[in-house]
Structure 1
Amino acid sequence: MKKTLFYMLLMLVFVKVQAQKDFQGMAVYESKTQAPKMDGLRAGNRDITPEMQKTMEERMKTMLEKTFVLNFDKSTSTYKEEEKLDAPGQQNGGMRIMMNSFMGGGGTFYKDVKTKKYTVDKEFMGKEFLVIDSLPKFNWKLESETKQIGGYNCYKATAVREASKTDFRNFRPKNQDNKKDDAKKTTTEKTTNFEDSFEIPKEIVITAWYSPEIPINQGPENYWGLPGLILEINDGKTVILCSKIVLNAKDKVVIKAPAKGKEVTQKEYDETVIKKMEEFREMNRGRGANGGPPMIRQ
């Protein structure tokens, strides 16, 4: 009798461990970023009509609406954009590829919350990079406020994080004080490109909604560190909202880190991107100073 009870308990433990080992899920996220106004483009180029400006803004809005799929188990996950075909008559493909690196897309983001490491493959200016680094540390403040997302009870958490200088979604229009300062510059300095109408804040406030009903330490992009799957992220400009969850599907997905590209740290990758952005900025300023058509004239 004792032996039978012992073997039954042993079998229950085995089943529980095996269930945890085989646990896997999939979450679909809709990401929407508030598109910047392009009034400055008309100020710098009179050939751009109001209709053209509206079309450009609509295309930008479309490019800033993305769908991602998060595949996860107890400790690892991959987060990848779901590719979409352009609608007939639209030619956003080339611009989307060019801007993907600045908007959090264009590769597979792999997280391992046990080792606290992440790997993401990125393509920038025709070169492939494999960014490998430590996951960011979030000092989450757990709130008592709750709401439901897709039938799951979620709790609110907030954190402050440093804004990435290579993520286009962090760009904010310059405030009036900064514009007044720009107005005091020389004519050559005032001839700038579109990017000079924006600035990047030092820090941004993140609001997350997580569900303890899915007790894993995961979330979209590089977000993690809460006692439940993060179903929504909001930083004031970008909202990432979970629209579908499937747990323990019959067909399992292989969750593994990407391996293609030149290995660099996040800092090294950011330095490469920033250097190229500065080269473009100087090139456009030079065109304006030599009488060529500037992208923006402030």
Structure 2
Amino acid sequence: MDKIHKKTNSMKIKQLTIILTILIGPFLIAQEQLRIEYELTEPEENFKYSDLPNALDIKVPKRYYELILNKDESIWKSFEKVDNNQNDGTVGRVTFFSPYGDIYKNVKEKVKMFEANLNSKKYIVKDSLQEINWKIMQESKEILNIQVNKAIYINKEKGIELIAWYAPKLNFKNGPDEYWNLPGLILEIENLTYFDDNSKMYQTYTATKIETLPQNKKIIKPTKGTIITQKELDKILEENFDKMKEMEGEGVDKD
């Protein structure tokens, strides 16, 4: 009788193992390559300056991005999406232009790369991914019906505060833009920057869609341009800024 019970239990365990493999297997495989859509929202206060008329209404359109990733690599890029609320007769409208291309990240090698077009020259900015010393918190919530946990990073000296929500069940150390290095995919992050005049600026990236991709979809690194570091890029930008100030100064009439 004991042998029959043992045999029956063994069969049940085997059947349960097969069922779990069928149910869990595709989910694990599906995580090998994902595409996540993010929505970037910014308050109007980010774009209001003291030299603008107070009566001018500012309309900040939402921006949309996608993150395509596998276990080690990812590409971050913007994409167009119809927003029916953008043609509402608002007086002032913010438009965006960036000289930078898509952001490639390799979290295994801790490398980032992106293209930059400056001074009619093409560059590839290649540098190390910034290590963020996250502090894991106890709070959790749901995004797209997925549990996410909270993590924060605060640098008072630079006036930076990051609030991230990551999904431990999506086992990728990656996230939107250049954010990464949490034990799960970052589905939402808020970036607050504080200035000396007590003003602040903040942006929020929130995931709005997750889908699986064929595993043979290749993530391509930037290839066109002279390779420089982030420090060298910052120097070029600083020189450009100084030239602009100099040209503005020369354009002022001196009586």
TM bin, normalised by shorter chain, reads 0.7 to 0.9
- Answer 1 or 2: higher relative contact order, Cα 8 Å, separation at least 6: 1
Q: Is 1:75–2:72 an aligned residue pair? A: yes
Q: Is 1:138–2:132 an aligned residue pair? A: yes
- 2:13 corresponds in structure 1 to none
SS at match of 1:107: strand
TM-score of the aligned structures, taking structure 1 as reference length: 0.63
Q: Note the alpha carbon deviations across 1:199-258, whole angstroms, 9 max, x for none.
A: xx82301110000010111101111110100001101311011111113x3475321211
Count the aligned residue pairs. Answer: 215
- 2:96 corresponds in structure 1 to 96
Q: Is the 8 A contact 1:138 1:160 kept in 2?
A: no
Q: Is 1:281–2:245 an aligned residue pair? A: yes
- 1:31 corresponds in structure 2 to 40
What's the Cα RMSD here?
3.2
Letter in 1 for 2:228: V
Distance of 2:82 and 2:225 partners within structure 1: 25
Aligned in 2, Cα 1:279/1:144: closer, same or farther, shift over 3 Å? same
* Match runs of 1:174-213 below 5 Å: 202-213=158-169
CA displacement at 1:96 relative to structure 2 = 3.0
Distance of 1:96 and 1:125 partners within structure 2: 19
Distance of 2:47 and 2:215 partners within structure 1: 41
Aligned partner (choices 224, 227, 235) of residue 180 of structure 2: 224
Letter in 2 for 1:128: K
Q: Is 1:265–2:221 an aligned residue pair? A: no
Distance of 1:77 and 1:240 partners within structure 2: 17
Aligned partner (choices 246, 260, 280) of residue 211 of structure 2: 246
Query: What runs of 5+ residues in structure 1 fail to find an aligned partner?
Result: 1-11, 43-48, 163-200, 292-298
Aligned in 2, Cα 1:125/1:96: closer, same or farther, shift over 3 Å? farther
Distance of 1:232 and 1:80 partners within structure 2: 16
Distance of 1:161 and 1:272 partners within structure 2: 26
* Match runs of 1:126-165 below 5 Å: 126-160=120-154
Between structures 1 and 2, the one with greater strand share:
2
Q: Is the 8 A contact 2:129 2:178 kept in 1?
A: yes
Query: What runs of 5+ residues in structure 2 fail to find an aligned partner?
Result: 1-20, 193-201
Aligned in 2, Cα 1:284/1:32: closer, same or farther, shift over 3 Å? farther
Aligned in 2, Cα 1:85/1:282: closer, same or farther, shift over 3 Å? farther
